[in-house]
Structure 1
Amino acid sequence: MKTLNALVLLLVFTFGYGQKKFSKSEVEKFQKKLNSEFADPKTSPLMTKDLKTFKSLEFYPVNETFFVNATLVKAKGGKVFEMKESGKYTSKYIKYGTLYFKIKGKDFKLNVYQNLELIVQEKYKNHLFLPFSDLTSGKQSYIGGRYIDLEIPKGNTIAVDFNKAYNPYCAYNYEYSCPLVPQENDLKIEVKAGVKTFH
């Protein structure tokens, strides 16, 4: 089985600090880059039979509703824990903090994490991992949930664009082992944004 640090699959960040505005063009760039990676045999997680017929991933229509400026409350203590994976492997993480935000007038929260192996690398030292599941999981989107890559902000506000949510590699190829979404990161709302399920 291939081991996979799912946090480095796609580091297509929209870096920035404080309040940010929604950008459809940024989402389109994200989608184009993702499709390019999947079409390239050198970087694609697809199985050989799927790569031969691959044209594009399926995305939800870009929707500004699922772009939020969340309030980040940092966690205290930084206790190390092992996040379960789809395979037999586990990776060590710390909970960096909790994001508080609204979608369609309702309050939600999600925890963000740091992978201890990843953050020792200079270019990923500020990387935050946001795994989540929602009411589309197992229906229109991947049953195991999806991921978003973020960067530690200078302030306490962080832009989260669910239009940039992507599937773990194990959604495409059983040989990969990917972090499972922690139960506390299950959203009780349909997040119709980002990548849909494959096939």
Structure 2
Amino acid sequence: MLQQYKPFLYFLGKFVLSYIILTVVYQSYLNRFDSSKAEVDSFTQIVANQTATVLSWIDNQSYTMAHLKEPSVKLFYKGKYISRIIEGCNGISVIILFIAFTLAFTGKLKNTLIFIFTGTLIIHILNIARIALLCIALYFFPEMEHILHGVIFPLVIYGVIFLLWVVWVNKYSNYASSFAKK
């Protein structure tokens, strides 16, 4: 009976194990920063700065500033404080999810590494664009914050991750290879 579920249990085990390992590694990285002193992790700072750079292509009064009371970075657009970038905005949690799923659907090592690198880069660039577009939208439509931040932009980023997974499973994973042979 258990034999028929072996492929699913194998997939689930690899997914959970890789997700836990990546999350523990990321958490140990975050533990190096003292949130009680409003310290922001380096990657969140990089994401905030890259977003401000993208916004500055549209408006030269776009910049970041450290938040003195909480671990976040203030983001200004057209000289106005629009949003704060916190650790959850940096995209690492969705990248971890993406990598764990990719590893769970085993593929050739070279393909796996290239796909993880390329997918991570796509997610990162998309995240910067997402934050920049969200800031622009919030500048003009601040009353739409809940739907923009809570619905539309997560739908876009998770939609792209889903599409990346579909490509991985159907073109590069061992599942795709075994399915093509049938």
Fold equivalence (TM over 0.5): no
TM-score computed with the length of structure 2 as normaliser: 0.28
Higher strand share: 1
TM-score (norm 1): 0.27
Highest RCO, 1 vs 2 (Cα 8 Å, sep ≥ 6): 1
User: More helix per residue: 1 or 2?
Assistant: 2
